[in-house]
Amino acid sequence: MDTTVNNVPQEIYEQIKAEITNKDSVVGIDALHTHILVLHRLMQIKAKFDALNEKLGASKVPY
């Protein structure tokens, strides 16, 4: 059975942790880098959602 952390597979969790960790930061992560990664992924999801809506003939979400 795979180990999970907050419903994230351990391997993926460790990859993300390594990507955002910053030992020089007071909180232990690079907040700017983390926000950029999250926002980029959300933009990718929105683009896929818009493409699906377009295929289905639905109107685009206004935001």
Q: Which residue has the higher pLDDT, 20 or 5?
A: 20
Arithmetic mean of pLDDT, 49-56: 90
Q: Where are the alpha helices (DSSP H) in the chain?
A: 10-20, 31-56
The answer to whether residues 29 and 18 touch, using CB atoms and an 8 Å cutoff, is no
Q: Which residue has the higher pLDDT, 60 or 44?
A: 44
* Mean pLDDT for the chain overall: 89
The answer to whether residues 19 and 30 touch, using CB atoms and an 8 Å cutoff, is no
- From the list 18, 42, 39, 22, the residue with the least C-alpha distance to 31 is 22
The answer to whether residues 60 and 53 touch, using CB atoms and an 8 Å cutoff, is yes
> What global pTM score does this model have?
0.70
Q: Is 30 helix (H, G, I), strand (E, B) or coil?
A: coil
